[in-house]
Amino acid sequence: MRNTTILGGACLLLLILAVVSICVGAVSIPLGDIGASLTDPASPTYFIVHEVRLPRVLVGMLAGFGLAVAGVILQNLIRNPLASPDVIGITKGAGFAAAAVIFLFPKSPVYVLPIAAFAGAVITFLVLLALSRRLTLSPASLALIGVAIGAIFQAGTQYLIVTNPTNINMALLWLSGSLWSRSWNHIAYLLPSLAVLLAFAGASFAKLNAFQLGDDIGASLGLRIVRERFWLLLLAVSLAGVSVSAVGAIGFVGLLAPHMARSLVGGLNQRLLPLAAVIGADLMLLGDCLGRVIIIPREVPVGVMTAVIGAPYFIYLLRRERNRRSA
């Protein structure tokens, strides 16, 4: 009962944030006008709501779902509370691929950028797979390899920025993570892709619970450790890659949402996965709302706001992990 109440509260908060996100911005929309703005083409705010803010809200929610669930899977597999798509290099690999397209192929069609970002995430996974010797290394080593790969891709991105001053504004906006100018076209590929991937994640909660117990106990329960770790890692990479391809290199959502959910409902993944997904969407919309009201009419990218929210919590997690190991 308590877990259902917590999940319901998170969903209610998501609904409130969605309404607020539609209302706030350079053009404020009164709460009472939202209904007409959504349904009446003659309304003066119909275009703003239906073509600008509503797609933005939905893209933010979907990307939050994907990043948060990817974080849950990675933390279970690596058994490290600090694991997330951005920490182990997945987001940075996608960012490098996107930066390469922006700087080296500036006249490429719009749809090439998200494809390149997803490809960058998959390439990062393949490199991680190769260096970890078919996933037979310890989870801690896997995490360290991911951090090293991410650092290399980050250095490559910085090199592209320094050596290609053209299109730098677009590149920085994408690399910081933003919901600006998101449209129904993004939802057209985000929704079906994430629906399938999230369904697979939901069906994998028993395997994720087994991985929490360690490889030896998991194997004794009949889990094929190497094979299942491969497929679940690929699932996490796909979730993060699809999400990042739509919203850019947004960090901390995949780290914060699982921790917040775990502190509320515990570590059983049948409870953890849905709550973390909703909290991830909450964080995305909260960061976007704050970013649009701080310096109206300008915007602070949502990735910057999630970093402002997440950095102090990340430091807290590092301190808590250090104290736990020294105890």
CA 27 to chain centre: 28
Q: What is the pLDDT of residue 15?
A: 96
What dihedral angle (degrees, nearest 10) is formed by the CA atoms of 36, 38, 42, 44?
80
Tell which residue, 226, 254, 259, 227, has the closest CA to residue 90: 254
Among 61-70, 178-187, 314-323, the range of highest mean pLDDT: 61-70
Residue 327: pLDDT band (50, 70, 90) is: low
Residue 280: pLDDT band (50, 70, 90) is: very high
Question: For a pLDDT cut of 70, what percent of the chain falls above it?
Answer: 96
Positive or negative: CA dihedral 132, 138, 142, 145: negative
Q: What would the mean pLDDT of 43-64 be, rounded to a whole number?
A: 91
Among 165-169, 279-283, 322-326, the range of highest mean pLDDT: 279-283
The residue with greater pLDDT, 214 or 116, is 116
- Token output for 53: 């803010």
The domain spanning residue 299 has which CATH number?
1.10.3470.10
Q: What is the pLDDT of residue 140?
A: 66
Question: pLDDT tens digits, residue range 211-260?
Answer: 888 777 777 777 888 788 889 989 999 999 999 989 988 888 998 999 89
Inter-residue contact 82 to 251 (CB < 8 Å):
no
Q: What would the mean pLDDT of 196-215 be, rounded to a whole number?
A: 90
Q: What is the pLDDT of residue 139?
A: 66
Residue 133: pLDDT band (50, 70, 90) is: low
Question: For a pLDDT cut of 90, what percent of the chain falls above it?
Answer: 35
Inter-residue contact 182 to 56 (CB < 8 Å):
yes
Q: Which of 103-112, 255-264, 314-323 has the weakest average pLDDT? A: 314-323
CA angle (150, 152, 154) in 5-degree steps: 70
Write out the residue range of the structural domain in which residue 116 sits: 2-326
Question: pLDDT tens digits, residue range 142-198?
Answer: 778 888 898 999 899 989 888 887 777 777 878 888 898 888 989 998 999 999 999
Q: What would the mean pLDDT of 133-146 be, rounded to a whole number?
A: 67
Q: Would the pLDDT of 76 be above 80?
A: yes
Tell which residue, 9, 86, 60, has the closest CA to residue 264: 9
Q: Give the mean pLDDT of the chain.
A: 87
List b or e across 176-210, with b for residues whose CB sees 16 or more CB atoms inside 10 angstroms: bbbbeebeeebbebbeebbeebbeebeebbebbbb
Count the domains in the chain.
1
- SS3 per residue for the chain: CHHHHHHHHHHHHHHHHHHHHHHCCCCCCCHHHHHHHHHCCCCCCHHHHHHHHHHHHHHHHHHHHHHHHHHHHHHHHHCCCCCCCCCCCHHHHHHHHHHHHHHHCCCCCCCHHHHHHHHHHHHHHHHHHHHCCCCCCCHHHHHHHHHHHHHHHHHHHHHHHHHCCCCHHHHHHHHHCCCCCCCHHHHHHHHHHHHHHHHHHHCCHHHHHHHHCCHHHHHHCCCCHHHHHHHHHHHHHHHHHHHHHHHCCCCCHHHHHHHHHHHHHCCCHHHHHHHHHHHHHHHHHHHHHHHHHCCCCCCCCHHHHHHHHHHHHHHHHHHHHHHHHHC
Q: What is the pLDDT of residue 232?
A: 92
Q: Would the pLDDT of 279 be above 90?
A: yes
